[in-house]
Amino acid sequence: MDPHTTDAVRLMQALAGIASIVVGLEWQAIVRAGAVEGTWPAPVLRPWWGWRAALMTPPVLRSIAVVQVTLGTMLVLAAMLRDRDDPMGAIAAAGLLLTLWWTAVRVRGTLNGGSDGMLFTLLLGLMIATWPGTPPRIALGGVLFVAAQVLLSYLRAGIVKLREPAWWRGEALAAFLAIPAYGATVWFPRRGRWLRALSALTIAFELAAPVALAGPRAAVLYAVIACGFHVAVAWTLGLNRFLLVWTAALPSLWVAQAAVHR
């Protein structure tokens, strides 16, 4: 990998490490509140777990957060290492992948929807990209896999909204903001021109994702706008993990544009 790609991977490692630490801390708080057994009682899920029940013991439940915080910290530290052949980052990513799978089995699905999926994608890409001795093309493929998923996540959402008249009228955005589960208490225009403009901007932003491949400046500009978009979503809808995880995945767009123009 060239130095710029290596820098992008290091940035992804550091941000993915921070996201993983937050995931671990949140899990610890949920476990400590007794909410895991209250929401996903083991006696109910044991038949569904099957052979995996042996892994779903209370000691593992209690220790998984510590493991996630430790591995997340290792990933952050790995981003600072000069030696590219050090296996610490790849091992941390592999370990975090296992903890995400464990959590998904424990709660019979993803805990935080798409953000868990993107974090899994990100860690898998980083594990491949940083595994010592990985051929450069395969390593690059790991990062491009992440970039492809990032682009797909925006583009698919944009195309579906483009076809929905309720989105163009602003009605869809108003309806989503009114869903009690998101607890959108922040002031927001609920109707009229502003809402239609915000809806159109959202659709335009999502559809513009491929523009990030036009060049380095376009990639950086799109990533900055995307960060702002995720801050707004986290602020209004409370999707904090999406902000952390997508921010960590966005540097892959820079690598993707470089690969396109190589």
Partner 1 sequence: MLWRLLFPSWAFFDRVVAVPALEVRTVDRVGDRTPWRPALRAPSRGVLALLYHPKGTLHLAQQGVVDRFAAECAMDEADETTTALVAALARVAVGDAEGVAWQWRVVESTPSAMAPAQVVFCSDELPVHDTPPDAR
Residues 6+ apart with CB under 8 A from 119: 16, 19, 20, 23, 100, 241, 245, 248
Q: How far is the CB of 43 from partner 1 (least distance, A)?
A: 9
Shortest distance (Å) from residue 19 CB to partner 1: 10
Q: Which is nearer to partner 1, 120 or 254 (CB)?
A: 120
Nearer Cβ to partner 1, position 1 or 222? Answer: 222
Least distance in Å: CB of 247 to partner 1? 10
Q: How far is the CB of 171 from partner 1 (least distance, A)?
A: 7
- At residue 100, what is the residue type? L
Give the contacts of 186 (CB within 8 A, at least 6 positions apart): 235, 236
> Minimum distance from CB of 34 to partner 1 (Å)?
4
Smallest distance, Å, CB 3 to partner 1? 30
SS3 85: coil
Nearest to 9 by CA among 250, 262, 214: 250
SS (H, E, C) 122-178: HHHHHHHHHCCCCCHHHHHHHHHHHHHHHHHHHHHHHHHHHCCHHHHCCHHHHHHHC
In the complex, the smallest distance separating the C-beta of residue 210 from partner 1, rounded to whole angstroms, is 15
Considering the complex, state which of residue 178 and residue 197 has its C-beta at the smaller distance from partner 1. 178
Please identify, using beta-carbon distances, which residue of 101 and 221 lies nearer to partner 1.
Answer: 101
Q: CB count, 10 Å around CB of 9?
A: 26
Binding site for partner 1 (CB under 8 A): 22, 25-27, 29-30, 33-35, 37-41, 44-45, 47-48, 100-101, 104-105, 107-114, 116-118, 120-121, 124, 152-153, 156-157, 160-161, 164, 166, 171-172, 174-176, 178-183, 185, 231, 234-235, 238-241, 243-244
- CB closer to partner 1, 185 vs 217: 185
Q: Which is nearer to partner 1, 81 or 145 (CB)?
A: 145
How far apart are the C-alpha atoms of 230 and 80, rounded to whole Å?
A: 26
Quick one: 29 exposed, middle or buried, by C-beta within 10 A (0-12, 13-18, 19+)?
exposed
Which of residues 184 and 218 has its CB atom nearest to partner 1 in the complex? 184
Helix (H, G, I), strand (E, B) or coil at 251: helix
Distance CA 127, CA 96 (A): 10
In the block, which residue shows the tokens 């109707």?
Answer: 191
Structural tokens at position 65: 């957060």
